Amino acid sequence: EVTYEPPPTAPTLLTVLAYSLLPVGGLSLIALLAFWMYRHRKPPYGHVDIHEDPGPPPPSPLVGLKPLQLLEIKARGRFGCVWKAQLMNDFVAVKIFPLQDKQSWQSEREIFSTPGMKHENLLQFIAAEKRGSSLEAELWLITAFHDKGSLTDYLKGNIITWNELCHVAETMSRGLSYLHEDVPWCRGEGHKPSIAHRDFKSKNVSLKSDLTAVLADFGLAVRFEPGKPPGDTHGQVGTRRYMAPEVLEGAINFQRDAFLRI
Residue-by-residue DSSP string for 10-62: PPPHHHHHHHHHHHHHHHHHHHHHHHHHHHTSPPPTT---TTS---PPPS---
| Residues 137 and 80 sit within 8 Å (Cβ to Cβ) | no
Q: Which of 121, 124, 146, 157 is nearest to 209 (CA)?
A: 146
Tens-binned pLDDT, residue by residue, of the chain (262 aa): 555 555 555 556 667 666 666 777 777 778 777 766 655 554 443 333 333 344 444 444 445 556 889 999 998 877 789 999 999 889 999 999 988 888 889 999 999 999 999 999 999 999 999 888 777 789 999 999 999 999 999 999 999 999 999 999 999 999 999 999 998 887 778 899 999 998 899 999 999 999 999 999 998 899 988 776 665 555 545 566 556 555 555 555 555 565 555 5
Query: Strands 205-207 and 194-196, how do they pair?
Result: unpaired
**153 an active-site residue?**
no
| Residues 169 and 160 sit within 8 Å (Cβ to Cβ) | no
Give the pLDDT score at 57.
45
- Strands annotated E in 78-185: 80-87, 90-98, 125-131, 138-144
Give the pLDDT score at 133.
78
| Residues 109 and 102 sit within 8 Å (Cβ to Cβ) | no
Residue 144 exposed, middle or buried by CB count within 10 Å (0-12, 13-18, 19+)? middle
Judged by DSSP in three states, 72 sits in strand
Kindly list the distances between the CA atom of residue 230 and the CA atoms of 1, 39, 115, 160, 179, in Å, as whole numbers in the listed order.
98, 33, 18, 39, 16
Give the pLDDT score at 38.
56
Beta bridge partners of 92: 85, 144
- Give the length of the chain: 262
Cα(197)–Cα(194) distance, rounded to whole angstroms? 10
**Active-site option among 90, 199, 210, 257:** 199
Cα(193)–Cα(120) distance, rounded to whole angstroms? 18
| Termini Cα distance of the chain | 108
- Tens-place pLDDT, residues 201-249: 999 999 999 999 999 999 889 998 877 666 555 554 556 655 655 555 5
Give the pLDDT score at 37.
67
Cα(57)–Cα(131) distance, rounded to whole angstroms? 12
> What is the number of alpha carbons within 13 Å of residue 115 lying toward its C-beta?
13
Give the pLDDT score at 44.
40
Cα(86)–Cα(212) distance, rounded to whole angstroms? 22
- Strands annotated E in the chain: 68-77, 80-87, 90-98, 125-131, 138-144, 194-196, 205-207, 213-215, 222-224
Q: Which domains does the chain have, with CATH numbers?
A: 63-260 (1.10.510.10)
Give the pLDDT score at 72.
94
